[in-house]
Structure 1
């Protein structure tokens, strides 16, 4: 349930008011930007394995990760250790998600790098235009000395970030998303080994996962050429750019869904447009939340459900979702 004060704030923002901080914040130093460059490169250059913890409110979830680099590229296994078992294998941008309880496998080609500790595009783009990047202090995480970097948003449209970057390798060991003094979510390694030898079988499915009774669903993505998609966003918030337009067969959806992906260089937002099937339940418009920094906004337009999802504040989600329109 969203409080009246938040609703009032959203209405106020919707008519164009933004808290601009750009004049108060200087440009980021070259040394601070160099830490981000090092962090963006690190996952492609190092082997690592360990356990990381995700915190959001009262929700805590631990995962085990093994990451190997070789001449063929990157190979990775992430296994969620709490709740419903989930194991994701990645070879470069090819993903396979195994659900042992239901014996289902979902495959997909990754369209954007966004998995801890690999959270920055490479090379990264306009982050300094949207965040003031500041070197803060040194701290130790999982027995590794880290440089703490603060990313302070230059306006009210995005969250702040704290990054703990391994001094030796540049690998991200901890990250926190914040709004003011409130910590919204965190990822942090509880145990980590960097640059150790990793056997190839550790990043391959176990024997029981290769049995014939597993059902495989291939989640297909078709990149749409510029101008082909009839849905557009007419007023992107400051700092956000369109990354890609796609058509996808998402899980449990009877029809293909149009997908527009946006980013400000760090935060990502996705807009999904799908026709409302005759006889299906009428979508419920409004705001929905999940764990942590992800917010969701749903509206109905001309017989279509428009879902905007992203790791940005509610007012930003609404600005983007309300700007979606269909070309004649």
Structure 2
């Protein structure tokens, strides 16, 4: 015999459903506004980046005009180093004999977690739950919390705080299991000038004891060659798909390297395939640096390396999915 639910309970269930739908719609709008704002706006600020108990402070200068985007990122702590980027080139300035100039994910748009969201929320919902939280005050501005929580253990969660008026991202956390913060970025000061003088994008670090590395995008494009069509990814972790395949020469390897880029709508993972010089050069295993995991696996005389800000199990599964077949 069917029993009817109390009207008050039905109303409560409908209200919860409506609130959840409204929350996701609000998250879509905020994320969409943020993706455009980070590249469209002129801004200057200072932010801190924390990982594994280590904190760095960065100064960022970003401009957008008819010629495109320009950005200058300067380290205020640690070794003196600087990255200047426009639509045609990336220039890295660091102390002679110093470590890498800047982590790649900090050189474009200046903030962790931004590049994967270039398409807004497309592809996110199958793998993540979106929500809108309360307000915070960051760098003297009010911002709204947006949560992007994974539906399984194969990816990380994200907590963003977005300035509603401008759409600017003011704070971002990368979260592991049970909400453990793996990495965090937060502005301590930010301004939005109408214009920025051209000379402010000239190198601030100059003189003896510093080396300059410059890579031009046009030159890099010419170095690409036809990818080997026999490399495939079988049985990928659910939600991931290949978004780009390229092959090019690299200074660190005498053989061309094939690069496959994967995404689940939020996280991005790179797969590098390169022929080894000697059998002793082949590696196998998983390593970690902060939230970044790398998995290495040999396939014949080729080294497979998978790199991404995803859990260890994810890079391992992707590495195991790489096969070489004579026909698709």
Query: Deviation string for 1:218-259 (max 9, x for gaps)?
Result: 68355566x743321112222212111112334533332111
Aligned: 1:201 with 2:216: no
- State the 1:58 CA deviation: 1.4
Unpaired runs of at least 5, structure 2: 1-19
Q: Distance in 2 between matches of 1:303 and 1:95?
A: 33
The SS at the match of 1:132 is strand
- Change in CA separation of 1:195 and 1:264 when aligned onto 2, cut-off 3 Å: farther
Could you tell me how far 1:154 is from its partner in structure 2?
1.4
Alpha-carbon displacement from aligned partner over 1:20-49 (angstroms, at most 9, x marks no partner)? xxxxxx766212110110011102321111
Rounded to whole Å, the distance in 2 between the matches of 1:257 and 1:143 is 46
Query: Mean Cα displacement is larger for which, 304-313 or 253-262?
Result: 253-262
Of 309, 312, 319, 1:311 maps to 309
Aligned length, in residue pairs: 297
Cα drift, residue 205 of structure 1:
2.8
Q: Is the 8 A contact 1:103 1:214 kept in 2?
A: no
Q: CA offsets, 1:191-240, max 9 Å, x none? A: 21123532111123348479xx8565668355566x74332111222221
Q: 1:35 aligns with which of 24, 30, 35?
A: 30
| Structure 1 residues 187 and 93: alpha-carbon distance in aligned structure 2, compared to 1, 3 A threshold | farther
Higher helix share: 2
Question: Alignment partner for residue 90 of structure 1, among 85, 88, 91?
Answer: 85
The answer as to 2:118 corresponding to 1:130 is no
CA offset at residue 129 of structure 1?
2.2
Task: From the superposition, tell whether residues 224 and 255 of structure 1 become closer, same or farther in structure 2 (CA, over 3 Å).
Answer: closer
Alignment partner, residue 8 of structure 2: none
Indicate which of 54, 59, 65 corresponds to 1:59.
Answer: 54
Q: Which residue matches 1:276?
A: 276
Give the Cα separation in 1 of the matches to 2:156 and 2:69: 30
SS at structure 2 position matched to 1:31: helix
Q: What TM-score do you get using the length of structure 1 for normalisation?
A: 0.81
Larger radius of gyration: 2
> Please, what TM-score do these two structures have when normalized by structure 2?
0.81
Q: Distance in 2 between matches of 1:311 and 1:207?
A: 30
Per the alignment, do residues 281 and 203 of structure 1 end up closer, same or farther by CA in structure 2, a change over 3 Å counting?
farther
Q: Secondary structure of the equivalent of 2:165? A: coil
DSSP-derived class of the 2:283 partner: coil
Contact 2:89 2:214 in 1 (8 A): no
Alignment of 1:11-160 (within 5 A): 29-92=24-87, 94-102=89-97, 115-116=110-111, 118-119=114-115, 120-160=117-157
The corresponding residue for 1:182 is: 180
- 1:129 and 1:113, CA in 2 relative to 1: closer, same or farther beyond 3 A? farther
Are the structure 2 counterparts of residues 217 and 140 from structure 1 closer, same or farther at C-alpha, using a change threshold of 3 Å? closer
Query: 1:232 is matched with which residue?
Result: 232
Q: Could you tell me how far apart the structure 2 residues matched to 1:105 and 1:59 are?
A: 16
Q: Which residue of 1 aligns with 2:15?
A: none
Task: Indicate the residue corresponding to 2:190 in structure 1.
Answer: 192
State whether residues 93 and 213 of structure 2, in contact with CA within 8 Å, keep that contact through their aligned partners in structure 1: no
- Going from structure 1 to structure 2, the CA distance change for 1:247 and 1:86 (only over 3 Å counts) comes to farther
Alpha-carbon displacement from aligned partner over 1:154-182 (angstroms, at most 9, x marks no partner): 12211110001012100111100112221
Query: Which structure 1 residue ranges, 5 or more long, are not aligned?
Result: 1-25
Offset of residue 153 of structure 1? 0.8
Write out per-residue CA displacement over residues 108-145 of structure 1, whole angstroms, 9 at most, x where no aligned residue: x99x9674164321455211222111001000011010
Counterpart of 1:254 in 2: which secondary structure?
strand
